[in-house]
Structure 1
């Protein structure tokens, strides 16, 4: 098996790691403030993440790369305003925002993750992590699930300064593989991520 040139590159957050801890923190901290206004915390959280992902991506594509957390902070109050809260800073505080963002640092692995990686490695695949998140935080997510990811198989967009789905980000990963006899797969729960990886080789 040692001579096999087989690789599986995993997106991590949202694919291998669940967002549930984030949604629970939103409900606990902001639920009493948002629910009486008819704004569900789950849909607010989804809108916040989706808007942040769009801003993050557009910034990266225009050579203005910023870390995901910085983008999330910058649009928190704007997302509340878009949800219909005329004066969001009177309703919630920076402390509320940081509480919820802190919960994002505590996201948990999906059930069966360690077994999945183990079976792939036993079958001769090298398992990779490719994330828009920062290395320390996302590595800790994996460790909580009993998964050790060698540093040489872990790639963060923060380190290369190019966000997904820019073709150059996937090409960076492909550039690490020997092309002879290569079998490479990309695994992501997000269709845009998987399709962009496929189009990039």
Structure 2
């Protein structure tokens, strides 16, 4: 049984930073990429964006494939689309394995621990809802020293539906509202497409600009809370929740 106050976090990109992988791309492929006029960070973001699109499109079409499998598969295509004429010569299988290992060793953002603790101290039950592999994502919490009960960490893999399909948010929303006398839970993310979809499903929405910088509210709609840092977002959630009680 959860508490009367619940917050569901997207994990990778929100609590967890991509910086470790960005640095790995720079150290492994940086000189080669710059020789082609490609910034390593641009390639990294293009890789993530392409993988998220293909993951979502596959799910929408009825063929769910775990995100990590999609992420690995599209790497060569991303190099080609970036203008590398012979991507398999440009980057070896060993290069890709090195980068995938880095992806598996991502780290929490500096204020992620503080953010989670603030919310727990204010009486919130914290959940994680990810498109990633549960074992990998659970490892991110362990490495950061955040105790995340296994029952509070959920992956789209177990449902066979990818975010941001409304059907992926609805069961958790229904469960939390049923357990807590109709009180709305929160959903927090640094991906606006994610938190806005959750909010349209019925969650309270909290968005942190740490990843995307621009909220684009005209495009995605209003949020209940917006802040530039995870800690600041947590403070605003606590205040907003208190005012509603």
Q: What TM-score, normalized to structure 1?
A: 0.95
Q: Is the counterpart of residue 33 in structure 1 residue 5 in structure 2?
A: no
Write the distance in 2 (CA, Å) between the matches of 1:152 and 1:90. Answer: 44
Separation of aligned partners in 2, 1:148 and 1:85:
43
5+ residue gaps, structure 1, are none
Other-structure match for 2:65: 66
CA contact (8 A) 2:7 2:127 kept: yes
Gaps of 5+ in 2: 203-245
Give the secondary-structure state (helix, strand or coil) at the position aligned to 2:8: strand
Per the alignment, in what secondary structure is the counterpart of residue 137 of structure 2? Answer: helix
Paired with 2:120 and 2:91, the residues of 1 have a C-alpha distance of 46
Structure 2: how far apart are the matches of 1:64 and 1:94? 26
| 1-structure distance, mates of 2:60, 2:106 | 27
- 1:127 CA drift (Å): 0.5
Contact 2:7-2:187 within 8 A present in 1 as well: yes
Name the residue aligned to 1:129.
128
Where does residue 185 of structure 1 map in the other structure?
186
- Tell me how large the CA RMSD over aligned residues is: 1.5
**What's the CA shift for 1:112?**
2.3
Q: Which residue of 2 aligns with 1:138?
A: 137
Q: How far off is 1:175 after superposition?
A: 2.9
1:26-82 deviation digits (Å, cap 9, x = unpaired)? 011111221111111110111111000000011111111111111112211111111
Alignment-derived partner of residue 51 in structure 1: 50
Separation in structure 2 between the aligned mates of residue 53 and residue 9 of structure 1, nearest angstrom: 20
Please give the TM-score of this superposition, normalised by the length of structure 2: 0.78
Higher relative contact order (CA 8 A, sep 6+): 1
Q: Which runs of 4+ in 1 moved over 3 A?
A: none
CA offsets 1:79-128 (integer angstroms, 9 cap, x no match):
11111111111111111111111101110101122222122122111110
